[in-house]
Structure 1
Amino acid sequence: MIADRLRTGIIDGSYPLGELLSEKSLALTFGVSKSPVREALLQLQAIGLVQILPQRGGLVFKPDAEQVRELCEVRLELEQAGLRFSMQRDRAQLAALLASIVDDMRVCFDLKKPVAYQQLDNSFHNSFFVYCGNSLLAKAYEAINPRVAALRTHLSTPEPYLLKRSLEEHGLMVDLVKNNDLGTALQLLREHISRTQEVHSRAVGDAKFGSGKRPRRRRAGA
């Protein structure tokens, strides 16, 4: 499906923030007419990844600092609720899932695979909603997650010392969930996302959107 492939390309960094996605070029790439390309771009616009440009195609979203703040604020509220409900309703399963993901993150860290690490980072945060017992909450997070994941890829850095810090924090979160320390877990999450907001806000001010090059990455584990 064209929309799925474009969505993946934006999230994994194949399409830089602010890049023009030409209807004509995409139609040639996928071997289709412009109509399915237009439909795919409309789907991506609905989840905030693309801004439609009539008769041209779409621009990959390029948030400013204010939009980063809004996204991080909503992300924080949703993740705190997801974590709280999951710990209340099925803490053992949540802890097991998070521990499994962190084990895989350690492997990626040791093998120096930052892209795979960031994908697992995204899975870690998605896990807060697997056992939350609230489909509306999970869908609300699903609505913003593509943009969260894309910013993690485009504006984070694979620097080893930052990846190590990220890995340590995620490991600590697993321990806090296992020990049923909800208060400290929520505090760690607030600090984690607050730092992400600061880093990403600075990064969008520096990034050369739409230049055809990926913005310089900043921090891992966002």
Structure 2
Amino acid sequence: MAVLERGPSLTDQAAEEIRARIVRGVFQLGEPLSEIALANELGVSKTPVREALMELKRQGLVEVHPQRGTFVFDMNATQVEQLSEQRAILETAALALALGKDRAALGRRWREIVEAMRQALTEDDAERYRTLDGDFHRTMFELADNPFLLEAFDLIAFRVQALRNRLSRDPDLNSTSFQEHIRLAEMVEGGAAAPIDATLRGHIEWTREHYLAALAAVGPEASAAPPRAKGRRRPSD
């Protein structure tokens, strides 16, 4: 049980802890959240927990339903489609900017992350691997050097990571995904931008397909929207 230290930012501490549990999958998609239970677990009053949940609501990680309560966010197939579309728009824009502003830095940073991913796979540390996967993609936004683009990405980043942690737990998929990240890193260090863009788009497209397949396996309500036409199979993000 994590007991928070007393200090001036209990709300921030509570939000960080609850957010981490959502992203890691400790709290499942659609799971109800009790202010009283969370306050007791974190060793604080209900006020910072309530304020933390409102902050997480603004980040899209928590849903508040009047007369029903507060729940971890959930997504149906249509919403996964829409999130993937937004992600593709943002990531390809960030990639183009990062390549134009400092291609060498992007290649260097991606190589470092790929090596850390290799180590995580060797140690069978799937959680660490998925965190590094998120870092790999965020690097494009950091090197794009556009705070507005980064802000737009941050609006969906936690939800993307939460889905990644829940729907990409197959070791075989992680292994295949690793090869795709190697390919992207190698392409940055030599070659035109267009093939890299196409590879990134394909990478995100397979992620979308994988999410939809996992949702469909849960039940018919979760798979309300059929997947679009599929291209070359891609590894999970």
Is this a same-fold pair by TM over 0.5?
yes
Q: Give the superposed CA RMSD.
A: 1.6
- Does residue 69 of the first structure (1) align with residue 70 of the second (2)? no
Q: Cα offset for 1:118?
A: 0.5
- 1:181 and 1:90 mapped to 2: Cα distance? 14
- Does residue 157 of the first structure (1) align with residue 169 of the second (2)? yes
Paired position in structure 2 for 1:214 = none
* TM-score (norm. length: structure 2): 0.85
- 1:117 and 1:158 mapped to 2: Cα distance? 12
Amino acid paired to 2:92: Q
Corresponding pairs, count: 211
Per-residue CA deviations over 1:140-191 (Å, capped at 9, x if unaligned) read: 00111000000000111232x3222111110010111111421111111111
Runs (4+) of structure 1 moved beyond 6 Å? none
- 1:115 and 1:76 mapped to 2: Cα distance? 23
- 2:236 and 2:130 mapped to 1: Cα distance? 7
By relative contact order (CA 8 Å, sep 6+), the higher-ranking structure is: 1
- 1:99 pairs, out of 111, 123, 128, with 111
Contact 1:48/1:147, CA 8 A, preserved across alignment: yes
- 1:202 pairs, out of 191, 213, 219, with 213
Amino acid paired to 2:29: L
Amino acid paired to 2:80: V
Paired position in structure 2 for 1:43 = 55
Paired position in structure 2 for 1:138 = 150
Per-residue CA deviations over 1:76-114 (Å, capped at 9, x if unaligned) read: 010000011000001111111010000000011111111
Unaligned stretches of 5+ residues in structure 1:
209-218
Amino acid paired to 2:167: L
Contact 1:51/1:58, CA 8 A, preserved across alignment: yes
* TM-score (norm. length: structure 1): 0.90
- 2:84 and 2:197 mapped to 1: Cα distance? 15
**Highest Rg: 1 or 2?**
2
Unaligned stretches of 5+ residues in structure 2:
1-12, 220-233
**Aligned ranges for residues 53-132 of structure 1 at < 5 Å?**
53-54=65-66, 57-132=69-144
Contact 1:82/1:137, CA 8 A, preserved across alignment: yes
Give percent identity, aligned residues only.
38
- 1:180 and 1:19 mapped to 2: Cα distance? 46
Contact 1:108/1:116, CA 8 A, preserved across alignment: yes
Cα separation, partners in 2 of 1:220 and 1:183, compared to 1, 3 Å = closer
Contact 2:22/2:28, CA 8 A, preserved across alignment: yes
Contact 1:78/1:141, CA 8 A, preserved across alignment: yes
- 2:32 pairs, out of 20, 26, 33, with 20
- 2:46 and 2:218 mapped to 1: Cα distance? 30
Q: Cα offset for 1:203?
A: 1.6
